[in-house]
Amino acid sequence: MSRLRPAALALAAVALAALLGGCGGDDGAGTQSAAATATTTAHAEGRPVTDEQALALARVLQQNWQRGGARFTGSVVVHGTAIPMSGRADFRSGRGTATLREPGAASRRYVWTRRAVYAQSDPGSRRYAVQRPDPDGDPVHAAIALINLLSAETIDNTANIQDQGARFLRGDTVDGTPVDVYRYRSGGGATYAIGRDDGLLRQLDARLPAGELVVTLTSHEPVRVAVPEGQR
């Protein structure tokens, strides 16, 4: 068995917290009171995970790594509008691609690596604008950052997961597949829907500064993503 380490899911939660923390500061007692109320509500929601459930959480990101990649659908909020998206991610190389389809407008394709984001200049164009990753300032980049965190080479530390207040929220289904839904870190801004039978991550639902991000993994398989021609 792989040696346990307090890394994968914890890093994803920390990154999410950093994205959320980048939105505004402390206004004073009123803001602190609202935050305390939200935290109390989150603590009351669901129940602490069992040892078996903690193990499911500990393994979920390694499962993505072992399968190499995934295809996904979902939506990300941009300027107050939820934009449908679909794409694929190569978890081992850190590359991915997504096409966003804004209602009433032409679709736009994004390709990314660990160092850059390539945004299609015009619909159907072979030209891409090279962008420096900016998850704090660009909601699409924030979505990309979280998608890239959905895998890990080894399993996480179950004790760390329990210490961070992971909670089982409910049983549910995603595209007809029975799942268990968890929130990692009490008061955290993301929930993970994990297949009850296979332990695979089926859906991530995260609250980002710009609005909700939903990523539904529709397949778990190796994928290849090429950097736009002439951009290597």
pTM, full prediction:
0.81
- What's the confidence (pLDDT) of residue 12? 57
Asked if 214 and 74 count as a contact pair (C-beta separation under 8 A), the reply is yes
Is 8-220 CATH 2.50.20? yes
User: Rounded mean pLDDT of 125-143?
Assistant: 94
Mean pLDDT of the chain: 83
- With b for 16 or more beta-carbon neighbours within 10 A and e for fewer, the 140-177 pattern comes to bbbbbbbbbbbbbebbbbbebbbebbbbbeeeeebeee
Read off the pLDDT of residues 191-210 as tens digits, 9 standing for 90 and up: 999 999 999 999 999 988 88
Gyration radius from the chain CA atoms: 18
Find residue 170's DSSP bridge partners. Answer: 181
Tell me whether strands 47-48 and 128-131 are parallel, antiparallel or unpaired. Answer: unpaired
- With b for 16 or more beta-carbon neighbours within 10 A and e for fewer, the 189-210 pattern comes to bbbbbbbeeeebbbbbbbbbbb
Is 6's pLDDT higher than 70? Answer: no
CA torsion through residues 15, 16, 17, 19, sign: positive
Calpha distance 136→20 (Å, rounded): 9
Tell me whether strands 81-90 and 69-78 are parallel, antiparallel or unpaired. Answer: antiparallel
Is 79's pLDDT higher than 70? Answer: yes
How far apart, in Å, do the first and last CA atoms of the chain sit? 38
Q: Which residue has the higher pLDDT, 26 or 101?
A: 101
User: Rounded mean pLDDT of 130-151?
Assistant: 95
Share of the chain above pLDDT 70, in %: 78
Is 76's pLDDT higher than 60? Answer: yes
User: Rounded mean pLDDT of 123-150?
Assistant: 93
- Tell me how crowded residue 39 is: count the other CB atoms within 10 A of its CB: 12
Read off the pLDDT of residues 152-200 as tens digits, 9 standing for 90 and up: 999 999 998 999 889 999 999 999 999 999 997 655 679 999 999 999 9
Nearest one of 230, 227, 172 to 205, comparing CA atoms: 172
Tokens standing for 11? 């890093």
- What's the confidence (pLDDT) of residue 106? 83
Q: Compute φ and ψ for 72, nearest 5 degrees.
A: -145, 160
- What's the confidence (pLDDT) of residue 189? 79
User: Rounded mean pLDDT of 64-87?
Assistant: 96
Question: Exposure of 94 by Cβ count < 10 A (0-12 exposed, 13-18 middle, 19+ buried)?
Answer: middle
Read off the pLDDT of residues 102-132 as tens digits, 9 standing for 90 and up: 887 789 999 999 999 999 988 778 899 999 9
Q: By three-state DSSP, how is residue 123 classified? A: coil
Read off the pLDDT of residues 30-63 as tens digits, 9 standing for 90 and up: 333 333 333 334 445 899 999 999 999 999 999 9
